[in-house]
Structure 1
Amino acid sequence: MRIFYSILLFVLAGLCEIGGGYMIWLWLRENKPWWFGAIGAIILIIYGVVATWQSANFGRVYAAYGGIFIIMAILWGWKVDGFIPDRYDIIGGIVALIGMAIIMYAPRN
């Protein structure tokens, strides 16, 4: 159950980081109104808070989060931007997830 909760927090953090960053992207690159950027900034602050809810230390959480971020960015690009991942995107994402699982959930003394 603890691992499930941790993964849920990673996914929530990923949605906040990618969603907030995307709002700022739309504001600056796609000429959306200024409030897109403001909402994006608030969502990015929430991302920083959500990451603190993990039980591991900062370095481990942020290193492991990288693997989740890679997968979620690929999925976001596919579903939101219409970017179709190729086999190398998928292989790289799987490698990143394996690394994330080792960093975060490997048994330690």
Structure 2
Amino acid sequence: MLIVRSTALFVLAALLEIGGAWLVWQGVREHRGWAWVGAGVIALGAYGFVATLQPDAHFGRILAAYGGVFVAGSLAWGVVADGYRPDRYDVAGALVCLAGVAVIMYAPRGR
């Protein structure tokens, strides 16, 4: 059950961080206005709180593992929101990152 909770928190964190950054990008680079930027800042702040809900107590481990989720999530966001088409190297790199997440977070440890 901890793995399911942890995975769900990683997905929520990715939606908030990537979505927040995308909203800021849209507000500034695409000239959609300060409301978009403000919504992005709120989402980015919420991401910081979601990370604290992970069951593991080690900040470095959580953030390192989240990096892999961020890589894969960013590519997926690009596909859905911007019509980006990843090539096989993008997909392979994302899979390597997700394998790293699994090793960092879920490998058995003698505690």
What is the one-letter code of the residue matched to 2:87? D
Percent of aligned positions that are identical: 50
Alpha-carbon distance in structure 2 between the residues aligned to 1:95 and 1:21? 23
Aligned to 2:62: 61
Distance 2:49 2:30 in 1: 28
Poorly superposed stretches of 4+, deviation over 2 Å:
none
TM score, norm. by length of structure 2: 0.96
Q: What is residue 101 of structure 1 aligned with on the other side?
A: 102
Q: Which residue of 2 aligns with 1:17?
A: 17
Partners in 2 of 1:53 and 1:105 — Cα distance? 16
TM-score norm. by structure 1 comes to: 0.98
Question: Aligned residue for 1:79?
Answer: 80
Cα drift, residue 33 of structure 1: 1.2
What is the rounded CA distance, in whole Å, between the counterparts of 2:36 and 2:66 in structure 1? Answer: 25
C-alpha separation between the residues in 2 aligned to 1:59 and 1:104? Answer: 11
**In structure 1, distance between residues paired with 2:80 and 2:22:** 13
- RMSD over aligned CA atoms reads 0.6
**Structure 1: segments with no counterpart, 5+ residues:** none
Unaligned runs of 5+ in 2: none
Contact 2:2/2:55 (8 A) holds in 1: no
